[in-house]
Structure 1
Amino acid sequence: MSAASNSPDTTWEIFVIKHGTRETSRSDVFMNYGFYSEPDDKFELAYYLWVLRQGERVIHIDTGYSEAGATKRGRTVLADPLLLLSSLGFDPAAGNPLVVTHAHYDHIGNLPAFSNSPIYISRKELEFWTSDLGTRSLFSHFGDQVEIADLVSARHQGRVHEFEGSIQIAPGVELVEVGGHTPGQLIVRIQTAVGEVVLASDAAHFHEELERDMLFQSMADLPRSYRALDFLRGSEAVIVTGHDAGEIERFAPVDQKFRGLVSTIGTGDA
């Protein structure tokens, strides 16, 4: 399915919201780092969620990590994601659509606050995390079963929309299943006033991952992970990665009081 054409009724503004950070090492970030024969060094990750806005229409992309999820894994909370959303005028309880790009703790940590939202997620993704595989050690660090239970609860309420392949959830907003990092990892293709933007989420954690073909340390399917990078590199869109610490500075700050925490795409030059 191709993305919608660029026209006034299909263009969106994107809010890139940084809520957390982690200081670590390159060898902890890139899979089999020793294979690259490079010295180790410090490395910084950032944690994001995103919001799309078109007039009164709003679509949430992921929910960030919760304070409990961050504490459990030693992550730094720069700002409570829900308070940031509220400060920007977005009410999680308003019932706006929510896209879950994949079901890791740092992308679904505040789901209970979105109690009225329809949720879009890959069928493969939800099936994986509700199977016994989701509890295995190499997956369970990132896939918190307490938070997976929030997804299951939403499905029981009839709010979860599962799909395969791709789906257009609004004019100018297309979800594409690429897999790799997780079985149903999604990217989001968005039409904006400055052209197409792709929220890669964790199909590409960092620009270095794209530029140097270096995979992140945790990948469910290595061949599909490489193919996802190939897919992104073949796009002419602006690529927004899932955890690059410099991502927030690539775009215009929404307001000086949010500088370093919130940037926008689609209201000026990307």
Structure 2
Amino acid sequence: MSQQPWQVVIIRHGTRTARKSEAFMNYAFYGEADGDYTTDYYLWVLRRGDETILVDTGYSAAGAEKRGRTVLIDPVEALARIGVTPEQAPPIVVTHAHYDHIGNISRFAGSELHIASSEYEFWTGEIAKKPLFSHFGDPHEVDDLSAADREGRLVRFSGEHELRDGIRLVEVGGHTPGQVMVEVDTSEGLVLLASDACHFVEELERDWLFASMADIPESYRALETIREHPADHLVTGHDPASMTDFEAYGEPLDGIATVIGRRP
């Protein structure tokens, strides 16, 4: 545990109600009845004293409209409520380059971006243009990553990367070629932000994969890595439980955010 622990703020900015058969790959194989299934959309804020790090930036209004997603609050507005603005240029961890995780990168034009090399190389390559991948990507948002690279703001890594004392990035792949999880030391213990290495708790408990996986064997291995992880708290990428399993943030994010750990 770091001597100076971090606080994790979980911000819910969007939602969608669909069917289980849309959420899980080959759902018919399990022989269970279909039903409504809620997917929530998050970004995460890591804070310690005057330091702030963003983990992903949520989806943009255009990205949400294109795919029929509900915007509960503009992510940048939500951040502003707790005093985090693009002008401060907070470092940003890109867990993976899907539209709902990099949708507002262009609004943080001065921020340093941290991304797995394999992730960046995939989304700037030809295979990413195939429909099975492009549905979840956005060429304009990938261009924002490339612009950051040209400006010297894109930091690439492979394997594990210690971003700050108490924050470690772990590349696991599976969902996307360079899917990253984030380990955070907090006053409440070790937090694992799984992002979309595990979308839902049910995915982990029942060994069901999400509908879109770039590498199926690696996706199963990522779930096993999470099961064996020594984390005290697991935060999945899209489970509504993130809004009930952790302490409510209160004002000024009342009803849209939860928190793990005290802010030193």
TM-score range with shorter-chain normalisation?
A: over 0.9
Tell me the distance in 2 between the aligned counterparts of 1:167 and 1:245: 29
Which of 18, 27, 38 is equivalent to 1:33?
27
Residues 53-96 of structure 1, C-alpha deviation per residue, up to 9 Å, x if partnerless? 00001110000000000000000000000000001111122122
Q: TM-score, normalised by structure 2?
A: 0.97
Residues 196-220 of structure 1, C-alpha deviation per residue, up to 9 Å, x if partnerless? 0000000000000011100000000
1:37-56 correspondence runs (5 A): 37-56=31-50
Which of 192, 214, 219 is equivalent to 2:213?
219
**Aligned residues of 2:194 and 2:237 also touching (Cα < 8 A):** yes
**Aligned residues of 2:16 and 2:38 also touching (Cα < 8 A):** yes
2:192 alignment counterpart: 198
RMSD: 1.0
The alpha-carbon deviation at position 147 of structure 1 amounts to 0.7
Percent identity, aligned pairs only, is: 51
2:152 alignment counterpart: 158
Which of 163, 171, 177 is equivalent to 1:177?
171
In the alignment, residue 244 of structure 2 is paired with which amino acid? E
- Give the secondary structure class of the aligned counterpart of 1:250: coil
Matched, 1:249 2:244: yes
1:80 alignment counterpart: 74
- Give the secondary structure class of the aligned counterpart of 1:148: helix
- Large movers: runs of 4+ above 2 Å: 256-260
- Give the secondary structure class of the aligned counterpart of 1:64: coil
**Aligned residues of 2:82 and 2:252 also touching (Cα < 8 A):** no
**Aligned residues of 1:85 and 1:92 also touching (Cα < 8 A):** no
The alpha-carbon deviation at position 257 of structure 1 amounts to 5.2
The alpha-carbon deviation at position 256 of structure 1 amounts to 4.7
Gaps of 5+ in 2: none
The alpha-carbon deviation at position 192 of structure 1 amounts to 0.5
1:99 alignment counterpart: 93
The alpha-carbon deviation at position 245 of structure 1 amounts to 1.3
Q: TM-score, normalised by structure 1?
A: 0.95
Which of 3, 6, 14 is equivalent to 1:8?
3
Matched residue count:
262
1:259 alignment counterpart: 254
**Aligned residues of 2:242 and 2:258 also touching (Cα < 8 A):** no
Tell me the distance in 2 between the aligned counterparts of 1:55 and 1:76: 33
Gaps of 5+ in 1: 1-5
In the alignment, residue 122 of structure 1 is paired with which amino acid? A
